[in-house]
Amino acid sequence: MNELLKNLTEAVGVSGEEKEICRIIRDLIADHVDEWHVDTMGSLIALKKGTGASPLRVMVDAHMDEVGLMVTGFDSNGTLKFDTVGGFDDRTLLGKVVQVGPEKVIGVIGGRPVHLSTPVQRNSVVKVDAMRIDIGAKNEDAAKGKVKLGDRAAFVTAYEELGPTAVAKAFDNRAGCAALVELLRARPYPFDLYAAFTVQEEVGLRGAQAAAYGIDPDVSLVLECTPAYDLPNKNDVSPNVALGKGPSVYVMDAVTVQDPRLVRHILQTAVTHNIPYQIRQPGGGGTNAGAIQRTRRPIPVATIAVPGRYAHTPTMMINLDDYAHVVKLAQLTLQSLTTEIVKRN
Amino acid sequence: MNNLIKKLVEAYGPSGFEDQIRALIWPEIEKYADDISVDALGNLIAHKKGDGSGLKAMVAAHMDEIGVMITHITEEGFCRFTNIGGVYPHTLLGGRVQFADGRVGIIHSDRITDRSKIYGLDKHFIDVGATGRDDCPVQVGDAAGFHREFVANGKMLSAKSMDDRIGCVVAIEAMKRLKQTPHDVYFVFSVQEEIGTRGAEAAANHLDPDVGIALDVTLTGDVPEAIPMAVSLGKGTAIKVKDAGMIAHHGLVQLMKKRASEASIPYQLEVLTGGSTDARSIQIANGGAAAGCISIPCRYVHSQSETVHADDVENSIKLLVELLAKPIEL
């Protein structure tokens, strides 16, 4: 059992309320870094000093927030109105168990039983504003005694390993966080490495924007978990990355054209060390690379991601070999990163 | 000047992949700059020193062009693609693209069953002459720009990437003609404009100018059933007042009008209801800058035959030189 992945995915940290996951990561890295602090927005920034061989300042980012819910109101019958934090398909929510607020009050997003629903109801999507979280409170006052307006709610999904794969909530992006923890536990790099476990990615790359401004790096690498879409498909159409085929390397998404020299360096590193890789399908989506690239001055950026099925639902699935390969590829990429690689002429 | 225009508009340079176009522009400006640098995103920055009495000015013309990127190669060797910037399906059928190595591909679509419909990009593919996935010479993640020869019909100049290589030409010519300036001028040949004015954003955050002037194309209202717009081809350079991303600095607009009148440069006032330029990024970078835009009127923007008028190009160069050669009081 990968205890690191288990601990990080089972911890709670919905965008804007990342204190719990932040503390857990802090305790995991404190002995392996030279200094650390938490910035005003809540991102955990750690410095692992380099050997002095390279003058670069390198920022490695992994966002620690996860998508979730927020309590927005109380009904007289004691159920909770809520809204989503981050991107959701409403259909994934009904019937799921959630933990609400700092006290982790257990609730369920109630669904109408099939016995009591009409065929018309069963054929239409229930929108999030019609759903309620039921924490078993008998009325509004009882509910207010257990949770507060504005409390976040996260899914309750235990980490489990199924042969080569693992299922859990929040692999997006605790898989990236775990990889970054492993990078910090390894030997020093030729340069000063600033690890940024950032907040509020899921609501618009916000934590990384502030963190990049503060760190002012020369180069940045983002570690992510990207949606895999490798289920059976009858047409030969664009698939996204697949589980088990290695780290996915970004070239272009909706917010960033990744630095072509860094991308080349990553791919060459993979080939040299016999690490499988796949190009993440260019097009939509976005990572913190977009915020880091342009916040203070132009920065070369790249993103390496663990492919994950069922992103932004209560349960995701990754392949543990892919995860291990992401750690290895990121580490080797960084160890061999030089000023020449990112020089423009 | 048409030789320079032809050289630049036919070059390869979709957003994020501007190395080749940058290499073409560099030697054109080398003699006219005090120093030249390239930043991490690939912006080409040419600094022309002032006499110390003026402002810090950033002039931005973007080198990148719209294009496509390969997302998937079918078993038969056809390439599916996504857009880089504003690429519209109705401009594509039978068109051609060029890859970084010069390879040309043909764009077509899946079988059209309803001619009254416009099919999405996902129904289009690029044929690069492969017979299957294994001998396909391009890969997922490869970027391509459009491929179309420069044509001069008298003073009407048409090409695939007038947006914004013509702005680059204006910047280059202005650098040549600007003998002395009170201002510290940074001519930025910017990257990634077509995907969200990203290059200029990073450059402006770094350079922190007092004044920003973008050089870019704008739409016209002089073609059949155009959106009403008081800008026509051949009637002068266009001074931007507003677009969808920016209200130009009022003082700068007034100064542009004044300088144009003084020098008898014909101009039109531009109010563009959609789209924006690098000036948008410069205006709100760091603590903000007085930003405006000298626009070159252009028909058929984001098609493979973007068309400008040589007189408008000339008048845009003149206005930029007038502006930079004299004091800027805002």
What per-residue confidence (pLDDT) applies to A30? 97
For residues B289 and B149, what is the distance between their CA atoms, to the nearest angstrom?
A: 38
| Residues of A labelled catalytic | 201
Would you tell me how many other CB atoms lie within 10 Å of the CB of residue A46?
24
Residue A134 CA, chain-centre distance (Å), reads: 27
pLDDT in tens, A154-177: 999 999 999 899 999 999 999 999
pLDDT at B89 over 90: yes
Q: B41 CB near a chain A CB, below 8 Å?
A: yes
Q: Which residues in A lie closer than 8 A to residue B40 (C-beta atoms)? A: 218, 259, 297-300, 342, 344
Residue B286 near chain A (CB below 8 Å): no
Q: What is the pLDDT of residue A239?
A: 63
As a whole number, mean pLDDT of residues B270-275 equals 94
Q: Which two tokens stand for residue B168?
A: 């680059």
Q: Provide the pLDDT for residue A201.
A: 97
Asked whether residue A342 carries a pLDDT value surpassing 90, the answer given is no
Q: Decide if pLDDT at A211 tops 70.
A: yes
The H or E element spanning position A225 is: strand A219-227
pLDDT digits (tens, 9 = 90+) for B118-138: 999 999 999 999 999 999 999
CA-nearest residue to A238 within chain B is B72
Residues of B whose CB is below 8 A from A296: 205-206
CA–CA min distance A174, chain B (Å) = 27
Q: What is the mean pLDDT of residues B233-260?
A: 97
* Beta-carbon separation of B15 and A298 below 8 A: no
Q: What angle do CA B154, B159, B162 make, to 5 degrees?
A: 105
Q: What local confidence, expressed as pLDDT, does residue A238 receive?
A: 60
Res B330 pLDDT > 90: no
pLDDT for B104 beyond 70: yes
DSSP classification of residue B30: G
Q: Is B69 on the interface with A (CB under 8 A)?
A: yes
Q: How far from chain centre, in Å, is Cα B97? A: 18
Is residue A141 predicted with pLDDT exceeding 80? Answer: yes
Token representation of residue A102: 């700092």
Judge whether residue A235 has pLDDT over 70. Answer: no
User: What pLDDT shows up at residue B287?
Assistant: 84
- B190 lies within 8 A of chain A by CB: no
| Angle, CA of A227, A230 and A236, to the nearest 5° | 125
Alpha helices in chain B (DSSP H): 2-9, 19-29, 162-177, 198-207, 250-262, 278-284, 310-325
Please, which pLDDT band fits residue A240 given cuts at 50, 70 and 90?
Answer: confident
Asked if A126 contacts A154 with a C-beta cutoff of 8 angstroms, the reply is: no
Please check whether residue B122 touches A, CB under 8 A. yes
The pLDDT of B79-104, averaged and rounded, is: 96
Q: Which residues on A lie below 8 Å from B19 (Cβ)?
A: 260
Query: What pLDDT does B221 receive?
Result: 96
Nearest-Cα distance to chain A for B232, in Å, is: 33
pLDDT band at A236 (very low <50, low <70, confident <90, very high): low
Q: Across the interface, do A294 and B41 touch by the CB < 8 Å criterion? A: yes
- Tell me the pairing of strands B56-62 and B211-218: parallel
pLDDT the model gives residue B119: 92
Tens digit of pLDDT for each residue in B154-174?
Answer: 999 999 999 999 999 999 999
- Residues of B marked as catalytic: 193
Q: Mean per-residue pLDDT for A43-54?
A: 97
Gap from A10 CA to chain B (nearest CA, Å)? 34
Domain ranges of chain A: 3-66+169-342, 68-155
Q: How far is B17 from chain A (nearest CA, A)?
A: 8
What pLDDT score was predicted for residue A237? Answer: 64
Q: Given this model, what pLDDT does residue B196 score?
A: 95
| CATH fold group of domain A68-155 | Elongation Factor Tu (Ef-tu); domain 3 (2.40.30)
Q: Which CATH architecture has domain A3-66+169-342?
A: 3-Layer(aba) Sandwich (3.40)
**Cβ partners under 8 Å of residue B83, min gap 6:** B66, B67, B68, B69, B121
Burial B271-284 (b: 16+ CB within 10 A, else e): ebeebbbbbbbbbe
Mean of all residue pLDDT scores within chain B: 96
Structure confidence by residue, pLDDT tens digits, B18-71: 999 999 999 999 999 999 999 999 999 999 999 999 999 999 999 999 999 999
Rounded CA separation B178/B169 (Å): 14
Non-local CB neighbours of A284 within 8 Å, separated by 6+ positions: A253, A254
The residues, any chain, with a CB within 8 Å of residue A38's CB and separated by 6 or more, are A22, A26, A44, A45
**CA separation for the pair A181, A21 (Å, rounded):** 13
Half-sphere exposure of B168 (CA within 13 A, CB side): 32
* A298-313: average pLDDT: 96
**How much of chain A, in percent, has pLDDT values that exceed 70?**
98
Query: Using CB atoms, which residue from A236, A257, A344 is nearest to B16?
Result: A257
Q: Across residues B76-90, what is the average pLDDT?
A: 95
Q: Mutate which of B82, B99, B122 to disrupt the A interface (most A C-beta within 10 Å)?
A: B82
Position A234 scores a pLDDT of: 65
**Which residue type sits at A114?**
V
Residue B280 has phi, psi (to 5 degrees) of -60, -45
ipTM of this complex prediction, to 2 decimal places: 0.77
- The mean pLDDT value for B269-292 works out to 95
Please identify which residue in the block is written with the tokens 């990553």.
A266
- Asked if residues B194 and B68 have their Cβ atoms less than 8 Å apart, the reply is no
- The answer, yes or no, to whether residue A115 has pLDDT greater than 80, is yes
Report the pLDDT value the prediction gives residue A345, as an integer from 0 to 100.
Answer: 61
Whether B195 and A345 lie within 8 Å, measured CB to CB: no
Distances (CA, A) of B35 to B26, B30, B31, B142: 11, 8, 9, 33
Residue B77's pLDDT band (boundaries 50, 70, 90)?
A: very high
| Residue ranges of domains in chain B, CATH in brackets | 2-64+160-325 (3.40.630.10), 67-146 (2.40.30.40)
- Helix, strand, coil percent content, chain B, rounded in steps of 5: 25, 30, 45
Any bridge partners for residue A317, and if so which? A167, A309
Residue A111 has pLDDT above 90, yes or no: no
Residues 126-145 of B with CB under 8 A from A: 139-141, 143
Vertex B4 angle, CA A344 and B8, to 5°: 45
CA atoms within 13 A on the CB side of B75: 2
